[in-house]
Structure 1
Amino acid sequence: MQPMKKQFIVDTNVLLEDPKALLQLRNGAENDVFIPYHVLLELNKFKKDPRLGHIVSRVVALLAEHPDAFRILKAERIAEAFSSHVDNFILDEITASGIEKPILVTNDKLLQLQAASKGIDSEAYKESMPFKSEAEYYTGFTDNGTAPIANSFRWIEGRPVFHGPEGEKVVSYQHKAWGVTPRSVYQNLALELLTHPAIDIVSIQSEAGYGKSFLALAAALHLVLEKKSHQKVYVVKPMYEIGQKLGYLPGKVEEKMEPYTRYISDLIMKLHALRPANRLFTNPDVYPPQFDIKRFELLPLAYIRGMTIENAVVIVDEMQNLSRNETRALLSRMGEGVKCFCLGDTRQIDNPYLSQENNGLNWVVKKFKGSDIYAHLVLKGEKSRGPITDLVIKSGL
């Protein structure tokens, strides 16, 4: 005897949390899936939301790709001016549908209670797969059995194997850059990419505390002051959070940026303590440090226009706050002899006009992935900058 088909009705929050929930619930053709008309209205509303619009686009694309995987419920009446009581209209659609034993799938606990009051069964969607940007989804590793991507890694017998410009090799050695010893295998692989002479642009994605800025600065000092393969270090930071206030701050550009780049100065001083980097400073005994602009310079994004950068290491920090146009304008400034490090976390976006998918870091991964001069890595590990940060990451705060 075949099990009876389940009749699932999907709420908006489920589709936004996991656009593929529709197919998961249908499970081939085992169950029937319905979408209330008011859910479509909610999706239409959210498509203009800068934080949700890209996810709505994925939901709509999946619906268009699988038109036979669901049916739309009819609405006897439409919520006026799209009121805040739209949940009541969704429940009315279910009641009027005549579906036998409908199950409303929603993660909204209040809606679950409302459904129960009308005799409608409900359950939470437990297999939620939160949206991941390309910068998170492509970790820099490829699966065994698939064609390797240029400058990617794979695990073979528990050891990381690098598919680099010289072919495949096991990374069984430990890097050290400007006195910095990697704290994890992922940090070691990051230094493999950051210091490789044939890789011109590297992007690093990670949550806070895994050391991407510290490693990038250590690699930059190694290349400029030790190997002398480059002449100067530039650190470019999008100043979006300052907005127009940047022009009203007193002093020179360095003084205007200082409150927003102090962490860079602190990291440089930490590296200076590990190994003296006197050539970076006009006076190494002054704090905040006064940098010799022949060797090290902090620049806001606005100052890049019109420049041609050559023979330098360029660190672009918090690249997730750059738009696609800003990213193009910045990277097109790079001339001969440039090594560029693009750092960021696509889940920590301050620019309200950008999303996890539509941001500079993610565009770099999407467009450059597979290039011979480009590499990407997602930093992770058991420990970050400290126990509190560890707890934040593990708890999902």
Structure 2
Amino acid sequence: MGKIYVLDTNVLLQDPFAIFSFEENEVVIPAVVLEEVDSKKRYMDEIGRNARQVSKIIDKLRQTGKLHEKIPLENGGSLRIELNHRSFHQLQEIFIEKTNDNRILAVAKNLSLEEGEKENGRPVILVSKDTLVRVKADALGLQAEDFLNDRVIELNDIYSGFLEVYVSKDLLNYFYVKGELQLSEITHHPFYPHQFLIIKDALGSSASAVGIVDSTGKMVKKLIYDQDPIWGIKPRNVQQMMALEMLLRADIPLVTLAGKAGTGKTLLALAAGLLQTEDHKSYNKLLVARPIVPVGKDIGYLPGEKQEKLRPWIQPIYDNLEYLFNTKKPGEIDNILAGLNSIEVEALTYIRGRSIPEQFIIIDEAQNLTKHEVKTILTRVGEKSKIVLMGDTAQIDHPYLDEYNNGLTYVIEKFKDQKVAGHIKLMKGERSGLAQLAADIL
């Protein structure tokens, strides 16, 4: 016996291909959902793009049959646009206002009542990413679920980029002397390219070492980074040391850094970028960008030219640059950047259509990017460029993203087995004791 899934608008706006995610079951889209999608299609952002994509998908399906009847889908299921069932008879005593959410609930409730009168009635399930809609559905005795098919990973399974392994004292001594070790001598567990290993003595002594798996996934080697300060910055913990190793290596063109606020992601990336751009001349330019997503209420339109408008959004980058350049006076960092002419701080709004060769690219707050946006960014990277994506997956300001379906998590999981990529999750906050405590308990 199949099921009937009634989709809320936010499911389609998050994933336009959600229609095809319900296997051999019937998918019902209320007419009010089409109205809401239509109202969003003129938006010039990700929601608008998804609304237009939904329209195209449904229009293509329309050519195979009548939308108010069952249209077969390739996965064995079917799709139907529900034009009736707007009656509020079952809801009027509970939810008085005829809002769009309540109209969607009415469709699901009336379908459920219809199926309940049949001898072999099917379960009706409302699928919504809106928590309160699911709460309302529960109050009406309806089954309701979150849409989880867009999640890259399951709960608490995000790739950290490092593992602890225990070996004999002889193997540990051999690693100290030779600087490398066959992974088959440690364990038969498969490893990812550029995964870090914290190698410890199996007998419990304090002896330990840190190594990185090579691109073949068969050898673990000592780190190349020699721990000398970089632009006055020195790693304060083992994960920061791992991060610098990847940031300074030319054979890892894609680096992802995840971690709570204050773990040093931005500062480490900027220091590594400045060293390789200004000192080593490995790259022609350091490009730093971040998405324009406000925390809390948007401050609205800002006066001035482009750089003046962008300054409030990219001020966190300037804060870190002021620390690295050790500036004391107001406006001094602007004069330094103008004089260098090789450091560009930009908003991601302007990256589409660009090709960025021979640059060290840093994308801050990447957890606020969607899968489509992060694909757009990575496909801009030109020859001999290095790109660093970083963010805190627990601090997301985008309305349709969470810890498990955002662009940063998407890249981490999709590239973890690729030879061109490396990832590390920074664990310990180094901003201040108060910042670390706040990140842990709030």
Superposition TM-score tier, normalisation by shorter sequence: 0.5 to 0.7
2:202 is the counterpart of 1:154: no
2:356 is the counterpart of 1:309: yes
> Aligned to 1:190, what secondary structure does the other structure show?
helix
Measured after TM superposition, the shift of residue 326 of structure 1 is 0.9
Give the equivalent residue in structure 2 for 1:286: 331
Tell me how far apart the structure 2 counterparts of residues 160 and 186 of structure 1 sit (CA, whole Å).
10
2:324 is the counterpart of 1:271: yes
TM-score (norm 1): 0.61
Residue identity in the other structure for 1:289: D
> Aligned to 2:293, what secondary structure does the other structure show?
coil
Deviations 1:146-186 (A, max 9, x none): 11110001121232221134942234942532221111111
Give the equivalent residue in structure 1 for 2:430: 384
2:222 is the counterpart of 1:170: yes
> Aligned to 2:288, what secondary structure does the other structure show?
strand
Checking the alignment, whether the CA contact within 8 Å between 2:158 and 2:409 is kept in structure 1 is no
Checking the alignment, whether the CA contact within 8 Å between 1:321 and 1:349 is kept in structure 2 is yes
User: Could you say if the C-alpha distance between residues 179 and 273 of structure 1 is closer, same or farther in structure 2, counting changes exceeding 3 Å?
Assistant: same
Q: Which runs of 5+ in 2 are unaligned?
A: 16-21, 24-89, 96-151, 166-186, 201-207
Give the equivalent residue in structure 1 for 2:273: 220
Residue identity in the other structure for 1:265: Y
- Which structure has more RCO (C-alpha within 8 Å, separation ≥ 6)? 1
Q: How many residue pairs are counted as aligned between the two chains? A: 279
> Aligned to 2:229, what secondary structure does the other structure show?
coil
Tell me how far apart the structure 2 counterparts of residues 392 and 173 of structure 1 sit (CA, whole Å).
32
Aligned runs of 1:224-263 on 2, under 5 Å?
Answer: 224-241=277-294, 248-263=301-316
Tell me how far apart the structure 2 counterparts of residues 153 and 134 of structure 1 sit (CA, whole Å).
22
Measured after TM superposition, the shift of residue 322 of structure 1 is 0.7
Identity of aligned residues (%): 32
> Aligned to 1:221, what secondary structure does the other structure show?
helix
User: Could you say if the C-alpha distance between residues 48 and 253 of structure 1 is closer, same or farther in structure 2, counting changes exceeding 3 Å?
Assistant: closer
Tell me how far apart the structure 2 counterparts of residues 378 and 241 of structure 1 sit (CA, whole Å).
24
Checking the alignment, whether the CA contact within 8 Å between 1:175 and 1:182 is kept in structure 2 is no
TM-score (norm 2): 0.56
Q: CA RMSD in A?
A: 3.8
Give the equivalent residue in structure 2 for 1:194: 247
User: Could you say if the C-alpha distance between residues 352 and 321 of structure 1 is closer, same or farther in structure 2, counting changes exceeding 3 Å?
Assistant: same
Q: Which runs of 5+ in 1 are unaligned?
A: 1-39, 54-59, 62-79, 85-130, 277-283
> Aligned to 1:340, what secondary structure does the other structure show?
strand
Deviations 1:44-97 (A, max 9, x none): 8999679x99xxxxxx99xxxxxxxxxxxxxxxxxx65969xxxxxxxxxxxxx
User: Could you say if the C-alpha distance between residues 48 and 325 of structure 1 is closer, same or farther in structure 2, counting changes exceeding 3 Å?
Assistant: closer
Deviations 1:224-250 (A, max 9, x none): 01111001111111013299x799322
Residue identity in the other structure for 2:316: Y
Tell me how far apart the structure 2 counterparts of residues 192 and 323 of structure 1 sit (CA, whole Å).
28
Measured after TM superposition, the shift of residue 308 of structure 1 is 0.8
